[in-house]
Each structure stands twice: as C-alpha cells, then as structure tokens.
Chains A and B, each alone.
Chain A
Amino acid sequence: MLKKIFPNKILSLNNKFINNLLVGMVLIIIVGLTYGLFLSPADYIQGDSVRIMYIHVPASFIALGLFGIIGLVSILNLIFSLKIVPFVGKSLAPIGCVFSLISIITGSLWGKPTWGTLWVWDARLTSMFVLFLFYIAYILTWKVFTNSKKVNIITSTIGILGLFNIIIIKYSVVWWNTLHQTSSITLTSAPKIHHTMLVPLVIMFIGLSLYCVIIFLMKYKIELIKFKLKKK
C-alpha cells in the first residue's frame, strides 16, 4: 500500500511539467509581492513594517510544515524501513533549512522597528533557532555517514526528535510568556488579520509552497536516479 504513495513514476515526470509549475510559481509570487508590498494597507500601529509579514509568516509555516513531513517520514521509515521513503526527507531538508533561516532573518528585521530589538531568547525565537539546528544536523548526518542502514536510523531519530520541537514551537507562545505575539491564524477561530492583509499572505504562501514542490521534485528525482545507479 505504502509503495503506491511514493511511486517510481516520478522518474518519468518530464521537464515540461516542472517548467509549467515554475512559470505558475513566478506569476503567483509576483502577484503576491505586488499585492503585499504596494496594494495592501499599512498596519494601524506598525505602519509599513507589517509588510515583512508577507515573507516571514509563509516562510515560518513552510519551515515548520516541511520538518513535520520529515518527522512523519522518519516514523514510517523506522517502522516499515521502505527503500525510497528516506529520500523524501533528504530532499525536503535543504528547502526547510533555507526557509527557517529566512524566517529567522526576516523576523529579526521585523523585530528591530517593532519590538526595539533584533533578537531575544524568548521561547518562540529560541525554539525556532533550535529547528534551524535540527535541519543542519539532519542534513549533515546525510553527508557524513555513508552506511545506508546507519544513516537511516540516525536521520530518522533526528526527524522524530525534531517533531517534538515543532510542537514546542507551535505552542511556545501559549505555554509561556514570550515577546513574540500569539498566532493570528488558528484553526479554531476567525483570523485576526484584516482580509486586505490576509489575501496577499495566502497568495505568498501558495507561491512559496509551489516553490518547495518544484525544488522537491527536482531533488527527489536526482536522489532516486542516484539510488538506482548505486543498485546496479
């Protein structure tokens, strides 16, 4: 059953499909950026610095989401030890790493004009930094160890431990007093962002997610080809 979720069909994906996705992504991001940076209104307290949100929030979402997937893949991998599943995690990690870095950098650029500081060690910021370290550890493990069995166990352990950190990041602003504000978008209540600001945020999220999909497809394909060559 699980083998059908990760089919080898991905190898037959032609470049035309990826190119089409690429064009779509560029268009969506251009629309999102123009909407967010020029058309959407400034905030009533923060003024124009609120526009950093249109990069910061999608990047953070993606960084968390991708590690979430890596964690789930790690669980599947440890339990069923399927051959090609680990490559999903391996292909996702660099993308998530970059987005966690983007989230941290844009966050501190946003913190300076609003909070009055670039960085504080509050629970949210610290756990986000830990996520970045988890990504680095995960990527390095893939690079350092060559024995495939060993690499599987260590990376999966890192992935599962990182999953706990994801939960801590998500609830850090609820469990402890933090300088970082609580979530504006939750599943249980209406978003606390006015719709003129929410629309560009969603557009940017779709655009950047599409970017992740494209890079993932390219990287995953390469990993599978490498794997097949090795087997021969």
Chain B
Amino acid sequence: MFTKKVKTRISILFFLSTISILIIYFFFRSLEDNVVYFFSPTEIFNKTNIESNKKIRVGGLVKVNSIIRNEKSMVFIITDFKNEIIVNYEGLVPNLFAEEKGVVAEGKLKDKKYLFADKILAKHDENYMPPEVVKALEKSQN
C-alpha cells in the first residue's frame, strides 16, 4: 500500500515519538513536586522532606465553622476530610473565599499542622449554575 520510503518514515517517526513520550514522562515524574501547584493536608502529613524556611502551598476545602476573625489576623482550617491544617493569615481574602469552598494558602509551615500564610487564593470548582437553580436544589434536598 505504502512505498518503502513512506514505511521507513513512519517507523522512524513512531520510534522518535515513543522516545519523546518516555522522556517527557520521566521529566515530569522527577519534577512532580515542582509541577503540582499545591499539596493537600494529607500529602503534607506524609511528606518527609519539608524545609521549614521554604514557602509552601497548601490546598483543600475551608472547614465549616472554622473561620475565626480577630482584629488583625484570621485563623481557619484547610481540610481534605482526612487531615487538617490550621492556617493563620493577615490580610485581605478573595471574594470567593468561603466555608466549604476551595482555597490555596501560601506560606511557611510551623509544623505539619500549622501554616503561617502570607497569600490566600480562592479555588473554584467546575460547576456553573444560576443562583435560582442552587436555591431550588437546596429546597429539594431539605
């Protein structure tokens, strides 16, 4: 069906592609810690090589009823329903920061359970709905 020239080209291309895929795979495997934008509380809990003076990002959901606002700072808990991390933060939070919503906190770890954050980002999910629909959904659940 194909000429010999075409067949050689296909095999060369196939060979090179396989090698590139392997290289890319191992490249990202070795850089895993740098590619992920944040760690979950469980990943922090399981980590052995944490440098306490290096900035780290922790992400998860803001635990219900965990936000305590003081005059200057605020404290809340990031959870992934297995492990939790207490976050201490001074400053303004994004509009979408709320209980049971996604959050990413950047800062330095005091220990595996306590983070001094200097930056808070809100992470939202992939669901988009008008407010009336959400109300209707909540009604039908109750």
Contacts and interface: CB of A to CB of B under 8 A. Distances in A.
Nearest to B101: A45
A70 to B, nearest CB: 16
A194 B133 contact: yes
A168 B13 CA distance: 20
Contact of A184 (B21, B128, B134): B128
B128 A182 contact: no
Interface residues of B, number: 39
Given A164-B21, A181-B126, A197-B128, A114 B101 contact: no
A113 interface: yes
A179 B121 contact: yes
A46 B37 contact: no
Interface in B53-97: 59, 93-97
Given A176-B32, A194-B133, 4 more contacts: A41-B132, A79-B13, A116-B121, A181-B124
A72 to B, nearest CB: 12
A51 to B, nearest CB: 11
Contact of B131 (A44, A161, A192): A44
B121 A115 contact: yes
Contact of A41 (B37, B93, B130): B130
Contacts of A176: 32, 35-37
Contacts of B134: 44
Contacts of B94: 113-116
B36 A123 contact: yes
Given A80-B6, A184-B126, A192-B128, A177 B121 contact: no
Contacts of A196: 130
Contacts of B131: 41-44
Given A177-B40, A181-B125, A46 B132 contact: no
B42 to A, nearest CB: 12
Contact of B128 (A43, A78, A113, A178): A43
Contacts of B35: 123, 176
Interface centre among B10, B93, B128, B132 (most CB of A within 10 A): B128
20 contacts: A44-B130, A44-B131, A44-B134, A78-B13, A79-B9, A79-B10, A113-B95, A114-B94, A114-B124, A115-B123, A116-B97, A116-B122, A123-B37, A161-B20, A177-B59, A181-B123, A182-B125, A183-B126, A192-B127, A197-B130
